Chain A
Amino acid sequence: MKRLYFLFVLILLFSIVQASEELTGPQIIQKVSDLMNQETAYAKMTLTIVTTSGKERQFEYESYSSDKNEKNAIVYTSPSRVKGQAMLLLNNADDIWAYYPRTDRVRKLATHAKKQKMQGSNFTYEDMGSGDSFITDFITSRLTDIKMEGYDCYKIELKKKEESNSNYGRLLMWVIKDNFVPAVIDYYEKDDPMVCSKRLLQKDIRVIDKIPTPMQMNMHNNLDDSDTKMSIVECKYNIKIDKTRFTERGFYR
């Protein structure tokens, strides 16, 4: 009986492994996208810019997302210099509005503004609010599986579709097999898809509201050798968020 049970478990494990190995690149990216784009999400974040000279600048902000990350709102809470500044990114960051509390002015920005760095950091607004762009903007293919940062990972290559307005020509992603969290993402230049300009490292993965969530991120800029660290202080998924938050009037709340 014991032997039979052992055989059953072995077959089950083998079939799980077999099934996961049979996943195609697009299927893996779909799972990554589903994981990253929950119906709604709220987070308190810190953003620390580490310059090449070792100086640090720290920002705190609150992030709201809705409709599976298609709608995003970012409100800076610290330091005083930027407190109250806010960004609204709709339609996967194709429509962007910025709010400046010192002038009480809302300004619509064109799509190219998503190339702009968040407060001079290595994260752009495209990195923050691009929703399902891994699926819509890139052609995915699965490369040979590899161990990365201590995790068994799928290695996925994403090449920019011609019609896409993404600012990256190519991405390489190492997705943790156990939970579909990307452990590492390499971002390649739009104009030269062989030049890797940035590397995102995600670690300290914790399960929050049943969602595996990397609490620490580091974006390294290979071109100027600077780092930006992002940490989640607080995070909630699939909660009710007032729809006004994702309108221009939401800036005044």
Chain B
Amino acid sequence: MKYKICLFLFIFIHIFVNNAFGEMSVGGYFEPQLSAMYFNDEYLQLNSNKLRIDVTSDLNDNIRFTGNYNYINYNGTTDWNLLDFMPNRLSNIIPDSLRNLYALLYENKDELDNAYIRMYVSRFTFTVGRQQISVGSGYAWNPTDLFNTKDILDPTYEQPGVNGIRLDAGLFFNNTISLFYSPEYNWEESGKLIRFSGTALHFDYALLAGEIKQANSDYLNFCFSTERRRMYGFDLNGQLFGLGCWSENAYNNMDSTNDFWENIVGIDYTFSSGWYVMAEYLYSETGKKKTSEYDINDWMRYLSTEIKSISRSQIYGYTLYPLTDLINIGGSVIYSPVDHSSLFIPTVEYSIDDNLMLTCFGSIYTGQDGSMYSHKMGQGGIIRLKAYF
């Protein structure tokens, strides 16, 4: 509570003291959202109201403070059980007495998402504090990103902040080297990333290496351990034969479990009418080659974002068409070639006003029971209003 009062006072003082001198800008958005789903012969609803406050202050020409505070309030069906989403052959082996261990509860959140200071000194940029780390050219998946896993239903949504210090240094021929250190209990457990990037022949390239403490959870015996994960990757993004194309590749060296590769390739194109189409393919050796091999740990690690995919590969497709100046229609489809299941997400975006957007998503699962995108996951949709201020 003290923390909240301090934060409130901090924002209040800055708004009313600094704004008088025009040094601080306060913005953000309010996002009410209704998720509705037909699930297990029941119609369920989950409503959330998110308030995000963004604060930016230029302390001088070369130092900027940025902070974001999130408050999210949930109503409706806030109590879920992940076993309900799993195939019967797996969920049935869990005794009723242990079912509550797989509960997923949507609880109101208030959090300091980002708070960092960015300093510009000649060719160097230092960023200190809790900050977003966005690595890789992939749209739906980023194998070289050790710190985030995207939500496949909405891959462009903002990522939570990561605590750390980052240095970006401009080098020769427009190359850049970036270093990121995210302190944990000790040096070994801390997250580290080094990225060397540049542009050549209309291609952006990046070489990366990093390590983090990776969760390695056993959801059958409820043993939660960690191991060191070292990642070596490269990233290319450019165009071939008029098509945009990219590839992101990472080899992961694990301390106690098997090493694995994760790769993506993607292509995109914009037609003269403004119609945009994109496809991306993911290959992940953490995924299984057969549907029958999916086990509870795979499902739980996937649902808790420890791994990117249950199946060995996935294909993501996305399209957007500007129907009018204010309305875009499109959607995405995710297909698992291993179990031939797919998820369709039709989307409509409408700009109601300069700062008011309405977005409607559907979610239509078509796979058989046991597959990644099984119809058992429920059919539904989301209506989201976003008012920026």
Q: Do the beta carbons of A115 and B270 come within 8 Å of each other?
A: yes
B149 to chain A, nearest CB (A): 14
Task: Say whether B2 faces chain A, with CB atoms less than 8 Å apart.
Answer: no
Residue from A55, A95, A103, A104 within 8 A of B156 (CB atoms):
A103
Q: Do the beta carbons of B118 and A110 come within 8 Å of each other?
A: no
Contacts A95-B199, A108-B137 hold; do A249 and B272 have CB atoms under 8 A apart?
no
- Chain A residues with CB under 8 Å of B176's CB are 248-249
Task: Say whether A191 faces chain B, with CB atoms less than 8 Å apart.
Answer: yes
- Chain B residues with CB under 8 Å of A112's CB are 239, 242-244, 268-270
Contacts A111-B242, A189-B272 hold; do A81 and B357 have CB atoms under 8 A apart?
yes
Contacts A108-B237, A112-B244 hold; do A94 and B134 have CB atoms under 8 A apart?
no
Bound Cα distance from A52 to B323, whole angstroms: 12
**Which residues of A70-111 have CB atoms within 8 Å of chain B's CB atoms?**
79-81, 83, 91, 94-95, 100, 102-111
Residue from A49, A103, A165, A189 within 8 A of B159 (CB atoms):
A103
Residue from B28, B120, B202, B354 within 8 A of A95 (CB atoms):
B202
Bound Cα distance from A190 to B157, whole angstroms: 35
Bound Cα distance from A95 to B202, whole angstroms: 6
Task: Say whether A117 faces chain B, with CB atoms less than 8 Å apart.
Answer: yes
Contacts A108-B237, A115-B272 hold; do A79 and B322 have CB atoms under 8 A apart?
no
Convert A39-76 into 0s and 1s, putting 1 for each residue whose CB lies closer than 8 angstroms to a CB of B.
Answer: 00000000001011001011000000000000000000
**Nearest CB in chain A to that of B244: its residue:** A110
B93 to chain A, nearest CB (A): 40
Bound Cα distance from A110 to B268, whole angstroms: 8
Bound Cα distance from A113 to B244, whole angstroms: 9
Task: Say whether B238 faces chain A, with CB atoms less than 8 Å apart.
Answer: yes
Contacts A81-B354, A112-B270, A113-B270 hold; do A224 and B326 have CB atoms under 8 A apart?
no
Q: Which of B159, B355, B357 has the most CB of A within 10 A?
A: B355
Convert B120-154 into 0s and 1s, putting 1 for each residue whose CB lies closer than 8 angstroms to a CB of A.
Answer: 10000100000111100100000000000000000
Convert B232-252 into 0s and 1s, putting 1 for each residue whose CB lies closer than 8 angstroms to a CB of A.
Answer: 000001110011111000000
Task: Say whether A8 faces chain B, with CB atoms less than 8 Å apart.
Answer: no
Task: Say whether A252 faces chain B, with CB atoms less than 8 Å apart.
Answer: yes
B63 to chain A, nearest CB (A): 12
Question: Size range of the interface on A?
Answer: 35 or more
**Nearest CB in chain B to that of A246: its residue:** B174
Q: Do the beta carbons of B244 and A120 come within 8 Å of each other?
A: no
Q: Do the beta carbons of B158 and A120 come within 8 Å of each other?
A: no
Residue from B158, B272, B274, B326 within 8 A of A102 (CB atoms):
B158
Q: Do the beta carbons of B272 and A190 come within 8 Å of each other?
A: yes
Bound Cα distance from A100 to B156, whole angstroms: 10
- Chain B residues with CB under 8 Å of A167's CB are 272
**Nearest CB in chain A to that of B131: its residue:** A104
- Chain A residues with CB under 8 Å of B322's CB are 117, 120
Q: Do the beta carbons of A247 and B174 come within 8 Å of each other?
A: yes
Task: Say whether B324 faces chain A, with CB atoms less than 8 Å apart.
Answer: yes
Convert B95-130 into 0s and 1s, putting 1 for each residue whose CB lies closer than 8 angstroms to a CB of A.
Answer: 000000000000000000000001010000100000
Bound Cα distance from A116 to B138, whole angstroms: 20
Bound Cα distance from A247 to B198, whole angstroms: 10
- Chain A residues with CB under 8 Å of B351's CB are 57, 120
Convert A100-140 into 0s and 1s, putting 1 for each residue whose CB lies closer than 8 angstroms to a CB of B.
Answer: 10111111111111011100110000000000000000000
Task: Say whether A253 faces chain B, with CB atoms less than 8 Å apart.
Answer: yes
A129 to chain B, nearest CB (A): 15
Question: Size range of the interface on B?
Answer: 35 or more
Bound Cα distance from A51 to B174, whole angstroms: 41
Q: Do the beta carbons of B27 and A111 come within 8 Å of each other?
A: no
Contacts A103-B156, A117-B274 hold; do A51 and B132 have CB atoms under 8 A apart?
no
- Chain A residues with CB under 8 Å of B80's CB are none
Q: Do the beta carbons of B134 and A104 come within 8 Å of each other?
A: yes
Task: Say whether A226 faces chain B, with CB atoms less than 8 Å apart.
Answer: yes
Residue from A79, A113, A121 within 8 A of B354 (CB atoms):
A79
- Chain B residues with CB under 8 Å of A121's CB are 325
Contacts A80-B388, A94-B202, A249-B125 hold; do A57 and B269 have CB atoms under 8 A apart?
no
**Nearest CB in chain A to that of B155: its residue:** A103
Task: Say whether A244 faces chain B, with CB atoms less than 8 Å apart.
Answer: yes
Contacts A103-B132, A108-B237 hold; do A81 and B388 have CB atoms under 8 A apart?
yes
Bound Cα distance from A252 to B133, whole angstroms: 13
B42 to chain A, nearest CB (A): 34
Bound Cα distance from A106 to B133, whole angstroms: 11
A183 to chain B, nearest CB (A): 25
Contacts A112-B242, A120-B351, A247-B174 hold; do A80 and B389 have CB atoms under 8 A apart?
yes
Bound Cα distance from A147 to B244, whole angstroms: 43
Bound Cα distance from A30 to B243, whole angstroms: 31
Q: Do the beta carbons of B125 and A111 come within 8 Å of each other?
A: no
Task: Say whether B271 faces chain A, with CB atoms less than 8 Å apart.
Answer: yes
Q: Do the beta carbons of A110 and B243 come within 8 Å of each other?
A: yes
Across chains A and B, which 4 residue pairs bring their CB atoms closest together, nearest first? A110-B244, A105-B134, A80-B388, A110-B239
Q: List 19 A-B contacts (CB under 8 A).
A: A51-B324, A57-B351, A79-B388, A80-B28, A80-B388, A83-B27, A94-B202, A105-B134, A107-B137, A107-B237, A109-B244, A110-B239, A110-B244, A111-B242, A112-B239, A224-B324, A244-B170, A249-B125, A252-B168
**Residues of chain B whose beta carbon lies under 8 Å from any beta carbon of chain A:** 27-29, 118, 120, 125, 131-134, 137, 156-159, 168, 170, 174, 176, 199, 202, 204, 237-239, 242-246, 268-272, 274, 276, 322, 324-326, 351, 354-355, 357, 386, 388-389
